[in-house]
Amino acid sequence: MKPTFHTLNIKDIKKETADSVSIAFDIPENLKGDYSFIPGQYLTLKADIKGEDVRRSYSISSALSEGELRVAIKQVENGKFSTYACHELQAGQSMDVMTPQGGFKVETNAANANNYVFYAAGSGITPVLSMVRTILETESNSNVFLYYGNKTAELTIFKSELDALASKYSNFTLRYILSKEESGDANTNGRIDAAKCAHFYSAEIEGNEIKGVYACGPESMIDTIKDFYTSKGLKDKVHFELFTTPVAAADETSTEADDSVEVNAEVTVIIDDEEYSFPLATSGKDVLSAAQDVDADVPFSCKGGVCCTCRAKVMEGKVKMSLNFALEEDEVADGFVLTCQSHPITEKVVISFDEY
């Protein structure tokens, strides 16, 4: 569905831990279809904070059965939006909320008998909780394994909900891994690293055919998990979502990997059937920023190649992406790009936000 902002009322705000809250929104009847979601997707929230348009994306924590739309927000040091959300927002206020987006998701079916493996760290639990809970409630013949890293038990977001799920469902294996609280077991102390992946894989997972491995957390954890499952021949099973903007540069993605290409392109951006054309050099601004300069109301959130909100399809010509932590290989093969990371490498480029 095309990303669209609507103004929604905040139904309630719950303090989840000392440094995190969750926010539920009221969805008017006429927008219920627009805000239906697949577990794992996220919402982009927009607020005017001291005169600045600030947008952040947060994963939906609710399960489908709960009939509500809730996101979790962890306070980050000097974080404009998270500080505002954790300390100033009140129930009853309204906020601009984009319709659910994101390709980190799992489709459930009561007839499935699958094995799902999840890894999460800190607030990376949010989309994972929605996925885990929906699978457990929908697929009684599937098995779910969750390895969840935090500093301490007290700072573990959604611990009581997860413990309740583990008591209720015998097909749910839940392991907490704490970096700043001694558990007396080396396998559950420290960070989620290669040794812990190997230990839990051979102790609990090996022998089961894996439907998917889903990881949400910092880049280092995701790299560890990708490397581990690649070594097991299961690279294609790994799906991931970063919850912070990466600091390391990723490989450039392009259909023509030639850094020496420098063109002065004519770029046309299509959104809501309107066309916006502008000149843009390969070494100039990214396509998203250049489109904003000509007043195209293009969707965005992180501007860091992480959230996927600025996804669009190249209809003509070619671009290269500086970073891509959000699109899957098949999406790139189908011509989709992150416009906040895209630069033209042919003289004519047409990009449409109207293709999904």
Among 177, 192, 302, 319, binds ligand FES (CB under 6 A): 302
Among 61, 142, 301, 342, binds ligand FES (CB under 6 A): 301
**Rounded least distance, CB 335 to ligand FES, Å:** 16
**Rounded least distance, CB 55 to ligand FES, Å:** 9
Distance CA 64, CA 1 (A): 18
Decide: is 305 part of the binding site for ligand FES (CB under 6 A): yes
Among 121, 136, 291, 326, binds ligand FES (CB under 6 A): 326
Candidates 79-87, 217-225, 271-279, 294-302; binding stretch for ligand FES (CB under 6 A): 294-302
Distance CA 58, CA 40 (A): 10
- Indicate the residue among 146 and 338 with the shorter CB distance to ligand FES: 338
CA distances from 324 to 118, 216, 292, 341, 344 (A): 22, 16, 20, 8, 16
- Indicate the residue among 52 and 209 with the shorter CB distance to ligand FES: 52
**Rounded least distance, CB 104 to ligand FES, Å:** 13
**Rounded least distance, CB 326 to ligand FES, Å:** 5
Decide: is 308 part of the binding site for ligand FES (CB under 6 A): yes
The DSSP output letter for 220 is H
φ/ψ region of 197 (left if φ > 0, alpha if ψ in -120 to 50, else beta) reads alpha
**Rounded least distance, CB 309 to ligand FES, Å:** 5
Decide: is 210 part of the binding site for ligand FES (CB under 6 A): no
- Indicate the residue among 20 and 301 with the shorter CB distance to ligand FES: 301
**Rounded least distance, CB 305 to ligand FES, Å:** 5
- Indicate the residue among 3 and 149 with the shorter CB distance to ligand FES: 3
- The CA-based diameter of the chain, rounded to the nearest angstrom, is 62
Decide: is 307 part of the binding site for ligand FES (CB under 6 A): yes
Closest CA to 349 of 300, 315, 303: 315
The answer to whether 89 and 56 have CB atoms below 8 angstroms apart is no
Distance CA 25, CA 182 (A): 38
Distance CA 33, CA 28 (A): 10
How far, in whole angstroms, is CA 268 from its chain's centroid?
Answer: 28
**Rounded least distance, CB 312 to ligand FES, Å:** 10
**Rounded least distance, CB 78 to ligand FES, Å:** 20
The answer to whether 330 and 67 have CB atoms below 8 angstroms apart is no
Candidates 102-110, 184-192, 256-264, 297-305; binding stretch for ligand FES (CB under 6 A): 297-305
The DSSP output letter for 159 is H
What does the CA dihedral 152, 104, 96, 246 come to, rounded to 10 degrees?
60
Q: C-alpha angle 35/32/92, rounded to 5°?
A: 85
Amino acid code (one letter) for 168: K
Decide: is 338 part of the binding site for ligand FES (CB under 6 A): yes
Amino acid code (one letter) for 260: S
Among 47, 60, 310, 349, binds ligand FES (CB under 6 A): 310
- Indicate the residue among 88 and 334 with the shorter CB distance to ligand FES: 334
Amino acid code (one letter) for 331: E
Decide: is 306 part of the binding site for ligand FES (CB under 6 A): yes
Distance CA 206, CA 216 (A): 21
Binding to ligand FES by CB under 6 A, coded x per residue (else -) over 74-93, reads --------------------
Amino acid code (one letter) for 107: E
- Indicate the residue among 212 and 304 with the shorter CB distance to ligand FES: 304
Residues near ligand FES, by CB under 6 A: 300-303, 305-310, 326, 338, 340
